[in-house]
Structure 1
Amino acid sequence: MAQAWSIADRVARDFGLEIFDVQLRRESIGWVLRIFIDKAAQSNMTTETNSSEAVTVENCQRVSTDVSAVLDAEFSFEHAYTLEVSSPGLDRPLRHVGDCRRFLGRLAKFVVAEAVDGQMHLSGRIVGVEETSTESNNETLHHIVVENGRSVQRIPWSIVTRANLEVEL
């Protein structure tokens, strides 16, 4: 899997893209190698970011063509497989604090391991990311600040078990 990721990453960088995820799974049609590409992260992305910042069908096609050629030459996998290249989607997972910074102003859903204001499932617009340092163990704690129209909630990133953007039409 690391070999496929490395190959895909080399190709994606040539197009100003980055690899979001690589999955190799056996499915009813056989083995499927899925490569999820994304625009390279920029710290200044906000709700004002225009659609040119989204992965296009052309991006997927170009990466697929180039990755396929390199995989044929360099990837050692003992089974035939189908290659799929796509974006993480409109409801993409937020896997790091940096993702929350990147998508400030966007609607998101969070599932937490410990209740926040009595809730295990929270949703709202990401309005900030706060950092606080602890003196006892030199650790930086992150809180995602979410506004849902009725209130503002501070969600400790350390208790987030799943987070996704919500589709806005």
Structure 2
Amino acid sequence: MINKPVEDDRIIKETGTDARVAGIVLPVLQAMNYRLVRVKLSTQDELTLQIMAERPDGSMTVDDCEEVSRAISPVLDVEDPIDSAYQLEISSPGIDRPLVRVSDFEAAIGHEARIETDILVANRKRFRGPIVACDGEKVTIENEKAGEGEEARVEIPFDTIAEAKLMLTDALIKEALKQDKEDRRRRKKERRRGTDNDAAGTAEDDN
């Protein structure tokens, strides 16, 4: 039986060792209903393998991180993609998250981002400013550091982007706090609904 390759819908992906690790952990995450955001092997201080993940709704709790860590650790031990000893770190994307999917860029419209490209786009490789539009092929950003003769708005094809992330601004923090409040309210309702269903089931058993 031939194993079907796991689909990775990210448009910005890893290379080298990071890519090998991503290929190992991706099917594990998908089986657990998590999405891979980024894999990054850092050599600062000590060798650290950071795996950034989230649920489909964008949430990622401390309990989620622990669950993912318990599932991924033994798989990495078996596959052994890194020669040296390292520290495994499972984390959420955070407020100033990396943008790796088209949906990430769509959700970021109106917010400030930093984008770096592999090749020159409008004679630059680094851009910073609000995302103003997005489609399946490119993202449009207000170029805050546009010089004389440069376009104020730049269309950046997705296939040229090496790295992109949101910038931490007051507006972004405000929106994140609002979303967190809504998520907490939703989870509270779900827990209450589950408790009510359990109580109803017990009552039926008693009858």
Task: Provide TM-score, normalisation by structure 1.
Answer: 0.61
CA contact (8 A) 1:21 1:36 kept: yes
Q: Which of the two has greater helix per residue?
A: 2
> Cα RMSD between the aligned structures?
3.5
Please name the residue that 1:24 is paired with. Answer: 41
Relative distance call for 1:81 and 1:73 in structure 2 (3 A) is: same
Of the candidates 67, 75, 93, which is equivalent to residue 70 of structure 1? 75
Relative distance call for 1:14 and 1:107 in structure 2 (3 A) is: same
Of the candidates 138, 141, 145, which is equivalent to residue 142 of structure 1? 138
Please name the residue that 2:167 is paired with. Answer: 166
Q: How many residues align?
A: 140
Identity %: 28
Structure 1: runs of 5 or more not aligned: 41-51, 132-140
Rounded Cα–Cα distance in structure 2 between residues aligned with 1:3 and 1:105:
34
Relative distance call for 1:33 and 1:115 in structure 2 (3 A) is: same
Rounded Cα–Cα distance in structure 2 between residues aligned with 1:76 and 1:162:
23
Relative distance call for 1:15 and 1:103 in structure 2 (3 A) is: farther
Of the candidates 7, 16, 32, which is equivalent to residue 15 of structure 1? 32
Please name the residue that 2:85 is paired with. Answer: 80
Of the candidates 37, 62, 76, which is equivalent to residue 53 of structure 2? 37
Relative distance call for 1:97 and 1:154 in structure 2 (3 A) is: farther
Aligned-pair distance for 1:86?
1.0
Of the candidates 117, 131, 134, which is equivalent to residue 129 of structure 1? 134
Aligned-pair distance for 1:97?
4.7
Please name the residue that 2:148 is paired with. Answer: none
Specify the code of the residue in structure 2 equivalent to 1:33.
L
Task: Provide TM-score, normalisation by structure 2.
Answer: 0.52
Deviations 1:73-109 (A, max 9, x none): 3325332221111123211233465531243354434
Structure 2: runs of 5 or more not aligned: 1-16, 145-151, 174-207
- Aligned to 1:4, the other structure's residue is in SS state helix
Larger gyration radius, structure 1 or structure 2: 2
Rounded Cα–Cα distance in structure 2 between residues aligned with 1:114 and 1:79:
38
CA contact (8 A) 1:3 1:75 kept: no
Rounded Cα–Cα distance in structure 2 between residues aligned with 1:128 and 1:18:
24
